[in-house]
Amino acid sequence: MSRLDQAATLSLEGAEGVVRPPEDGLDALRGAAFGRFRDEPGSVAVAGGAIAALDADAGAELRVDARGCWIAPGLVDCHTHLPFAGWRAGEYADKVAGVPYAEIAARGGGIAASARALAEAGDEAVLRQAAGLAAEMLAWGTTTFERKSGYGLSIEGERRQLELGRALDARVVQTTASTGLLAHAVPPGTTADAWLDEVQAALPGLVADGLVQALDIFVEEIAFGLEHLDRMGELAARHGLALRCHAEQFTTMRSVPVAIAAGARSVDHLAALHPDDVALLGGAECAAVLLPGAEFLGEEQVAPARGLADAGALCVLATDLNPGTSPIAALPVIAGLAARRYRWSAAETLAAMTLNAAWVLGVHGDRGSLEAGKRADLLLLDAPVEHLPYRFGHDPVVAVVCGGRLVHARSDLAERLR
């Protein structure tokens, strides 16, 4: 790889399909455009970190024979809880045996267990684990991901997790976006209101240090209420940050109308979404980020995803990678779950983890689709888009180009070099 990743001009030539949006310049794919791709034979040329042309470049330093393959945009995972410490496999066994999440949390498990693990782990151990997971994500095609705090549960702890996230950036090839999940669980010994007072006081410093681009809050009976969501929205607006929200995961709280009124960029989970809120999201400038990995492993309800798509909602998929509810790093696995359980087409799952996910992070102008001039984040796949969900558990990624560099190659890429 060392020589190959030096090449600054690349040409992927003669692919069976180059998967592009129905037209260039779209912010997102929703309504009639959801899952509508042009998928025609062709080539892609890369130069200076960007997509130079939807055409071959015979003079490129690195030329790849893409016959029998498909070229797709790099995947965007807009909801992960990286970096975190350790795992919680014992809890999963308990869940499988029938213990509900709220009871696990009440026993000191759940978020509190990962908070203890993070507090006890050294920086190097946290970074090593997270970098390993980012490498795994890359091999499954993720070229951009969001990372959060939320396991600090004290202001110093949240700041440390955000700083570890920034240190992680230097160890991964992907680009990341940082979200302060500053209201995840009410820290022991305080109240939700008092905790938000602390968050409010700490935010100017976190913002000044460039540690957060978005704020997030877990709205749930065992976490924070609608009034706290509203307050988080005010804080986000005051600091020019995007508002994200863990909403309607276990309990129907009616947090979606409040989140939209507060200007939320996304509402994430929605397994327990109230039926009246489907149409609301259909017309909102707020994405529905669906997390079928958490739904499946936690035997949660299933989000009304077909209805959301048909209502015109801006539909997004993500892993929710975290040690509790969704220890899944692979977006193609999420595509497999979504197609089967949401009755989405393969192309809809791809739209939901590329351009639409980029919209959530505010980077849709620069990535999330194959368009000349956009950042060259792209995948060489050994199968058409339809195979993504169908061959559940298969990794179709032959090669990954990120920022214009070949950063990951399966051994069979060697046969394709010209």
Is the separation of the CB atoms in 281 and 265 below 8 Å? Answer: no
Helix (H) or strand (E) holding 70: strand 70-73
Determine the Cα–Cα distance for residues 224 and 239; give it in Å rounded to an integer. 21
Which of 277, 320, 348, 371 is close enough to bind ligand NIG by CB under 6 A? 320
Residues 233-262 touching ligand NIG, rule: CB under 6 A, are 246, 249
Is the separation of the CB atoms in 317 and 343 below 8 Å? Answer: no
Q: Does 152 bind ligand NIG (CB under 6 A)?
A: no
Task: Report which DSSP code applies to 210.
Answer: T
Residue 175 beta carbon to Fe ion: minimum distance, rounded to whole angstroms: 20
Q: Does 218 bind ligand NIG (CB under 6 A)?
A: yes
Q: Does 80 bind ligand NIG (CB under 6 A)?
A: no
Q: For Fe ion, which residue has the nearest CB?
A: 320
Determine the Cα–Cα distance for residues 278 and 310; give it in Å rounded to an integer. 10
Radius of gyration of the chain (CA): 21
Name which of 44 and 245 has its Cβ closer to ligand NIG. 245
Residues 397-416 touching ligand NIG, rule: CB under 6 A, are none
Is the separation of the CB atoms in 210 and 219 below 8 Å? Answer: no
Determine the Cα–Cα distance for residues 168 and 4; give it in Å rounded to an integer. 24
Q: Does 129 bind ligand NIG (CB under 6 A)?
A: no
**Total Cβ atoms within 10 A of residue 417:** 11
Q: What are phi and psi of 177, to 5 degrees?
A: -125, 140
Which positions from 95 to 124 touch ligand NIG by CB under 6 A, shown as an x/- string?
---------------xx--x----------
Name which of 277 and 320 has its Cβ closer to Fe ion. 320
Name which of 111 and 376 has its Cβ closer to ligand NIG. 111
* Cis ω before 83 (30° cut-off from 0): yes
- Residues in the interface with ligand NIG (CB under 6 A) total 12
Residue 280 beta carbon to ligand NIG: minimum distance, rounded to whole angstroms: 22
> Which tokens sit at 331?
């977006």
Q: Does 146 bind ligand NIG (CB under 6 A)?
A: no
Q: Does 266 bind ligand NIG (CB under 6 A)?
A: no
Q: Which residues bind ligand NIG (CB under 6 A)?
A: 110-111, 114, 218, 246, 249, 294, 320, 322-325
Q: Which residues bind Fe ion (CB under 5 A)?
A: 320
